[in-house]
Structure 1
Amino acid sequence: MSVELITKDDLQHFRLVLLNDIKELLAAKTEPSKEWLKGTEVRKLLKVSHGTLQNLRTSGRLYYSKIGGTYYYRYKEIMKMLESGVEAYR
């Protein structure tokens, strides 16, 4: 029967590696696979109501394209609006 001893240094090293892996996962940007998002997807992403999304659209704070009766929003434009600050919601 083989016995391996685990030292405090081994545990400390494991802890650091695990923390670094978790930080990398959390820091990774999760961009959708689509360049264009529908209104329902944008509302979920921004956690806003239909009316708020309409206000962002009509005030010109969020650019869109309309095809048929469906509004599409470019993901990069949404991120740009978010990075510009809270003013986008006012």
Structure 2
Amino acid sequence: MPLKVITSEDLEIFKSELIAEIKSLLDGFQKAGTTQKWMKTKDVLALLKISHGTLQHLRITGQIPFSKIGGVIYYDAEEINQLIARNMIY
């Protein structure tokens, strides 16, 4: 099997393309993803592709603010967008 050498220039190109793709995905998410003001737990789980335990951890640690009415937890869609933006890695 032949070896393929990856240069630092190759990695820089890959990094630039990856960042552009992530920005594109986030722009699409912000435009089409959440038009509603409040989201329920199932919506947030599907959007972020995380488990119930992870979402609970985010609530407990104060990373995601929420409102609870009866037994239903609501999340502000803008806060979810901000969480994604805060955790973006460049």
Q: How high is the TM-score relative to the length of structure 1?
A: 0.62
Task: Give structure 1 stretches of 5+ with no counterpart.
Answer: 1-25
Could you tell me how far apart the structure 1 residues matched to 2:85 and 2:34 are? 17
Q: Which residue of 2 aligns with 1:35?
A: 37
Partners of 1:30 and 1:66 lie apart in 2 by: 26
Write the mapping of 1:1-90 to structure 2, written as runs, cut at 5 A. Answer: 28=28, 29-85=31-87
Cα distance per residue 1:16-41 (max 9 Å; x no partner): xxxxxxxxxx7542142310000000
Rounded to whole Å, the distance in 2 between the matches of 1:75 and 1:33 is 8
Q: Give the C-alpha shift of residue 79 in structure 1.
A: 0.4
Give the whole-Å Cα distance in 1 for the aligned partners of 2:88 and 2:66.
19
Return the TM-score normalized by structure 2: 0.62
Task: Give the SS at the match of 2:32.
Answer: coil
Q: Percent identity?
A: 42
* Structure number, greater radius of gyration: 1
Aligned residues: 62
Go from structure 1 to structure 2 and tell me whether the alpha carbon gap of 1:57 and 1:86 turns closer, same or farther (over 3 Å shift).
farther
For the aligned residue pairs, the C-alpha RMSD in angstroms reads 2.0
Distance apart, 1:85 and its partner CA: 1.0
* Partner AA of 2:42 in structure 1: T
How far off is 1:86 after superposition? 5.4
Distance 1:68 1:36 in 2: 15
